[in-house]
Amino acid sequence: MRVRRLGRVEYLPTYQAMQDFTAQRTPDTEDELWLCEHPPVFTQGLAGKPQHLLAPGAIAVVATNRGGQVTYHGPGQVVAYPLLDLKRAGYFVKEYVYRLEEATIRMLSELGVTGHRVAGAPGIYVRTDDPFGHARLPPLPQAGEGRGEGDPYPFEGLAKIAALGIKISRHCSYHGLSLNVAMDLEPFSRINPCGYESLRTTDLSTMGVSVPLDAAAEVLSHKLAALLAP
């Protein structure tokens, strides 16, 4: 996998470049991993509902073809775009998402932070009261056990530190994941992140973990390259 470090780049040209790369690739095209940082922007997924955009203000909102709802990208956040031929890699979308999450969990673990999955809510979460503890999350209640069929998943005590949103075209992936390192979190209050009204967001800096953005991107790229291998 070829790793490309793009630095801070505007979202729209990068989005177009991913589409062009995917449309033009052949069965022999080398997979790539793009690492970057974006100026402030809200991106809306295909299923995105306008009611989750509360008060975007002067920050641009870009409609995209990835899955999921609205999220925010901004300075101090590592964005990783794996451009993979999943058919050649030999695994399907569900496994791909698992590997993206697992790479993020392992990256956080190197910094002493315990990342968690929440069933039905892609991404990685941390405990706000004990981000360094290793206790597993309690099982979620099932419908009929204090939870209605359409009720949102409980995020009490959790905050999201990494978001996922992907697109698969002709068995090839683009878009990817974002990891909050040291950023201004205020814009997240202008949306319902990923479509969840009760969802808090955090970053490594807020948890007292100081790491340069480039160093965080380097560790994440190593974990992704290892976990996304065929």
At 141 the pLDDT is 57
- Helices 93-110 & 213-227 angle (0-180, nearest 10): 140
pTM of the complete model:
0.92
User: Is 11 among the domain residues?
Assistant: yes
User: Is 112 among the domain residues?
Assistant: yes
Mean pLDDT for back-to-back runs of 10 residues, the chain (230 residues):
96 98 96 98 92 94 94 98 96 96 97 92 93 84 46 75 96 97 97 87 96 97 95
- The C-alpha atoms of residue 111 and residue 105 are separated, in whole angstroms, by 10
User: Is 99 among the domain residues?
Assistant: yes
At 143 the pLDDT is 44
Q: What is the CATH number of the domain that holds 24?
A: 3.30.930.10
User: Is 135 among the domain residues?
Assistant: yes
User: Is 72 among the domain residues?
Assistant: yes
Question: Pick from 135, 146, 154, 136: which is nearest to 199 by CA?
Answer: 154
Q: Which distant-in-sequence residues (6+ apart) come within 8 Å of 88 by Cβ?
A: 27, 171, 230
Q: Is 172 known to be catalytic?
A: no
User: Is 146 among the domain residues?
Assistant: no
Overall number of domains in the chain: 1
User: Is 165 among the domain residues?
Assistant: yes
At 104 the pLDDT is 98
At 98 the pLDDT is 96
**The 3-state secondary structure of the chain, one letter per residue:** CEEEEEEECCHHHHHHHHHHHHHHCCCCCCCEEEEEECCCEEEECCCCCHHHECCCCCCCEEECCCCCCCEEECCCEEEEEEECEHHHHCCCHHHHHHHHHHHHHHHHHHCCCCCEEECCEEEEEEECCCCCCCCCCCCCCCECCCECCCCCCCCCCEEEEEEEEEEEECCEEEEEEEEECCCCCHHHHHECHHHCCCCEECCCCCCCCCCCHHHHHHHHHHHHHHHCCC
Catalytic residue among 108, 172, 194, 217: 194
User: Is 190 among the domain residues?
Assistant: yes
At 156 the pLDDT is 80
Provide the residue range defining the domain that includes 222.
2-141+154-227
